[in-house]
Amino acid sequence: SAVISQKPSRDICQRGTSLTIQCQVDSQVTMMFWYRQQPGQSLTLIATANQGSEATYESGFVIDKFPISRPNLTFSTLTVSNMSPEDSSIYLCSVVTRPGTDTQYFGPGTRLTVL
């Protein structure tokens, strides 16, 4: 498994502002993903964070709203831009630690409230 940390753990933000969420893993991983969990809902995949190249976004999510960086094999950031109350969610980082295992592990999440 892997130890995954996210910063911040929670935040309250004003509409129109942006927040960058950090995901740090204690070992090199092959795949990193970002998910969103809206209140009372299941998890929805936002994008796959690709090292050294642009992220791959799922339908309904765009780079201008959710820019993602992954500069190396242990770190990624997700920015929620120009926030509105509808962006209030838990944002989760997820990783696959090595090829051939396929098991995905999740971070503790970042709880975002937009006023």
Partner 1 sequence: DAKTTQPPSMDCAEGRAANLPCNHSTISGNEYVYWYRQIHSQGPQYIIHGLKNNETNEMASLIITEDRKSSTLILPHATLRDTAVYYCIVRPWGGSGNTPLVFGKGTRLSVIA
- Confirm if 95 and 65 have CB atoms less than 8 A apart: no
Residue range at the interface with partner 1 (CB under 8 A); choices 12-20, 41-49, 65-73, 80-88: 41-49
Query: Between 31 and 73, whose beta carbon lies closer to partner 1?
Result: 31
Q: DSSP secondary-structure letter at 89?
A: E
Round to whole Å and give the CA distance between 76 and 49: 7
Tell me how far, at minimum, the Cβ of 16 lies from partner 1, in Å: 27
Question: What DSSP string runs through 25-40?
Answer: ESS--SEEEEEEE-TT
Q: Which of 80, 92, 112, 114 binds partner 1 (CB under 8 A)?
A: 92
Interface with partner 1, residue 66, by CB under 8 A: no
- Confirm if 91 and 34 have CB atoms less than 8 A apart: yes
User: Would you tell me which residues interact with partner 1 (CB under 8 A)?
Assistant: 1, 4, 30-31, 33, 35, 42-45, 48, 90, 92, 94, 96, 99-109, 111
